[in-house]
């Protein structure tokens, strides 16, 4: 017996970093909304620096994975960086069996990911 939990998306800006915190089921029913809302939020910073916190995601299916790959490509094509954080047991297993754990940069907590991207976003563009 499974119980569906509607996905909620919390978007915020911390320094030069966009944070998307997902809670609930990241599946076919919620994937398009995540893609659209997060894509719009990427316009807030250039280059886009994005943390997607999945600590409270209970289910992630192929639609959710597809959106994550889409966002990764969009961010990197604009010269930015995307970090995932907080993968729990089921999501962590899904990423391992699909080898997406090798494709994405994954941090254990959102705080670590945010700190890393804030440091990257505040470093000077030229060294010399």
Residues 68-123 have pLDDT tens digits of: 999 999 999 999 999 999 999 889 999 999 999 999 999 999 999 999 998 877 65
8 A C-beta contact, residue 33 and residue 69: no
8 A C-beta contact, residue 72 and residue 82: yes
So what's the pLDDT on residue 76?
A: 96
Per-residue model confidence as pLDDT tens digits over 13-39: 998 999 999 999 999 999 999 999 999
Section 47-69 average pLDDT: 96
Give 49's pLDDT tier (boundaries 50, 70, 90). Answer: very high
């Amino acid at each position: 017996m499974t119980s569906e939990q509607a996905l909620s998306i919390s978007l915020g800006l911390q320094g030069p970093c966009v944070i998307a915190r997902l809670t609930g089921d990241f599946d076919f029913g919620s994937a398009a909304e995540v893609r659209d809302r997060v894509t719009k939020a990427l316009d807030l910073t250039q280059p886009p620096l994005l943390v997607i916190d999945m600590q409270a995601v209970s289910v992630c299916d192929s639609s959710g994975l597809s959106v994550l790959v889409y966002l990764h490509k969009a961010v990197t094509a604009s010269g930015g960086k995307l970090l995932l954080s907080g993968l729990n047991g089921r999501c962590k297993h899904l990423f391992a069996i699909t080898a997406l754990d090798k494709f994405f940069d994954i941090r254990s907590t959102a705080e670590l990911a945010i700190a890393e991207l804030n440091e990257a976003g505040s470093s000077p563009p030229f060294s010399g």
